[in-house]
Structure 1
């Protein structure tokens, strides 16, 4: 409660930390039932720090073949292979799995998320919430100018996409169909949880791009979400652990996805990866 809603059915507040332990500590502090938040669950909050350092021997780790995407840099594949070897060495059983609807996750996400954002952010009109423009001449002018000034270019782009897919004649063709695809993606995960305890994938198909770079190509930016949006669509916990550097010295991560409300196993596997990777690289001063 109190946070700005982007896409209500996808949003999840999560910490960005230096270590897996810090993430467990912060998440425990953040998690509790809030009667003012319709998306919060009235369940006990475990002490996830108890999962850190526990042996992962015997855990079954799924490796989805659909996460091998065309054009993925060799260094991403190499890091993924290394992560698999680290977990093997720690005693995990590696299980090849299939999540066949993964390839539809990104387009489904970029229909559902902008649609919900368009609905949620409609209240930021300069009257009820948000920035109010000065010197306007009419109510319509106030709305338009306030939103134009208050939202950045990327937010405006997503709101426009969202308004389009929710508009008359397109709602069923885009938004409703995307929700059906989302259900299929969740069913893919449901079908493998009886065989695996967690899933290991790369975090992104490339290292972070430079500030201001690729601004003229939003599609390229959106493609960087290809490995992470499935967890949001399926309602699953995920964590990205820095595990190596690319040729340019930029960090690359490995992602662990777990069963719903099984953050304990996610932290357990992430802790093992962190120990094996021994990632201590720090950026040079860049500002």
Structure 2
């Protein structure tokens, strides 16, 4: 879903690089403000956060309908199997598998940590507000600078390992340590989100909507699994083990990046020409 949105924003912003930064900044700010708004509404009734979410989604829909011009229809029709076929590209498949492991860690932090922190709605909202701000800053300001200096794959592998360490300390530390590590995880998650989005959009020669559909098909299985398995793992063992599993999952994501490095490295010039032509269609006029 994120990559499809970036494709649409890319048409408006004039290119995928600008689209990713615009989208990640908006996503990070939304993730920062969401917990605070949820705490404010939830303090009145547990139903109100859902009403608030529905209202904001309606606003988002209206903004798309009013401000986003319709994109031209693709010349070639896309079948339901095309996203699966696109995963035959080694680079895209590697990015999807690595992101699968990363998303398990991400959603363990997002869905399971609030139960472990066991805080009031306002305190929990404050923690995840700081987490979201750090996510936004790292995804928009930090990630691009690190990529230019060290390269995308080095940054991604290192960030995944650091996220694993952070989650492990979160699981075994004191309550204060868990709060600090929860907030700090936003920095690594922000960097990872930016790099993974760029990989999904540019690592293969498949059309971006097709490539992103195949990529999302794989990674969202982990996003669905983590909220279910994390509490089950706690029931089967102890409170620490869900974070151990999440840390191992992040390390596995980094291992895929290292082992499949050649597949994730593509001919930049060839793909830039192809994707630049995709970016040029449907750009907003001033």
Question: TM-score scaled by structure 1?
Answer: 0.28
Q: Which has the higher contact order (CA 8 A, sep 6+)?
A: 2
Bigger share in strand: 1
Bigger share in helix: 2
Q: Which has the larger radius of gyration?
A: 1
Question: TM-score scaled by structure 2?
Answer: 0.28
